[in-house]
Amino acid sequence: MNDRAERGDGESGDPHDGSVSDDPTPLAVLRRLVDEEAPLASIHAATHARLTHVERGRCEARMPTVIGDGLLESVLILADFVLGVAYSSSLRAGDRIVTVRLGVQLIGRPLPGEELGATGTLDDSRSGVGLSSATITDREGRTVARCVGRNAVLTDGLAEQYGRTAPAWAARPTAWRMLMPHRGENPTRDGTTMIAHPDRWTANAVGVVQGGALAGLAARGLSHALDVLPDDFTITYVRSVRAGEGPVRCRVVVEHAGRRLRAGRAELVDDHGKLLASAAGSSFRH
């Protein structure tokens, strides 16, 4: 895919090309993004995930889905977005967050190509860890998924990048499968493996691959291995990932493949086998 032609990132080819705010506090930056209808990070510019309202401890956002792409992958990107913003909006300047754990329970199935809405709320914050919840809805306001997230605060040099620049919106929404180009390896008796190469447009506000985009790889691997979309999905992050540093491998093991209940677990590892994240998914059918 040609980045400039498909994503409209300007002459420089740099997804971060515009000043956002001189006030470094997260809430001020986020409010400015809402006022200017600007994306927070490359992943949001690519997927057209728009922050529409933010206050301390609460936010709202919308994101279109792309026909032919996965529902759960889209939900994970949007969920990670609003869960993180809900916590970030309560922090001081110089702090940033990392996603520690993300959980999604699917309830509905919107039509492909429909826009999703999301509301994220900070439920608890103590000792540098925030617990947030989110509801994802379809265009009619019906609940599609309920989500929970646990985020931790870090204070380091990366925090200085937060909100200082904003990417240009893509010409049209980019599908998850294009942001995380992947292929599957032949299944073995122990499970299946998928290999992905995160695109640079998967980056979040501090330049690492967004947790929701990574979670999509585990979710897709589980969907293929279980032959059904997981209704209940959780992922725990161990290490951050930077696009271009090498492939991310998803190793899936089916733990139960019954007629009604199917369950499995997945690990995301780097090219040296170092653990990046672990996930679990299950589906129950009547």
* Whole-number pLDDT of residue 207: 86
Mean pLDDT is lowest, of 14-18, 93-97, 98-102, for 14-18
Per the prediction, the chain carries an average pLDDT of 87
Q: Are 117 and 141 in contact (CB under 8 A)?
A: yes
pLDDT at 118 over 70: yes
**Residues paired with residue 63 on neighbouring β-strands, in sequence order:** 116
Confidence of residue 1 (pLDDT cuts 50, 70, 90): very low
* Whole-number pLDDT of residue 191: 64
Q: Mean per-residue pLDDT for 13-17?
A: 44
Q: Mean per-residue pLDDT for 119-146?
A: 96
Q: Mean per-residue pLDDT for 142-147?
A: 97
Domains in the chain, CATH or no CATH each: 3-284 (2.40.160.210)
* Whole-number pLDDT of residue 154: 82
* Whole-number pLDDT of residue 112: 81
pLDDT at 131 over 50: yes
* Gap between the Cα atoms of 70 and 177, Å rounded: 8
Q: Are 181 and 196 in contact (CB under 8 A)?
A: yes
* Gap between the Cα atoms of 231 and 223, Å rounded: 10
* Gap between the Cα atoms of 3 and 17, Å rounded: 14
* Whole-number pLDDT of residue 93: 84
List, in order, residues 6 or more apart from 271 with CB less than 8 Å away. 246, 247, 249
pLDDT at 110 over 90: no
* Whole-number pLDDT of residue 23: 65
Structure tokens at 152: 């931790």
User: pLDDT higher for 19 or 141?
Assistant: 141
Helices (H), 136-265: 176-179, 211-226
DSSP notation for 203-237: B-TTSSB-HHHHHHHHHHHHHHHHTS--SEEEEEE
User: pLDDT higher for 202 or 6?
Assistant: 202
Q: Are 259 and 279 in contact (CB under 8 A)?
A: no
Q: Are 148 and 132 in contact (CB under 8 A)?
A: yes
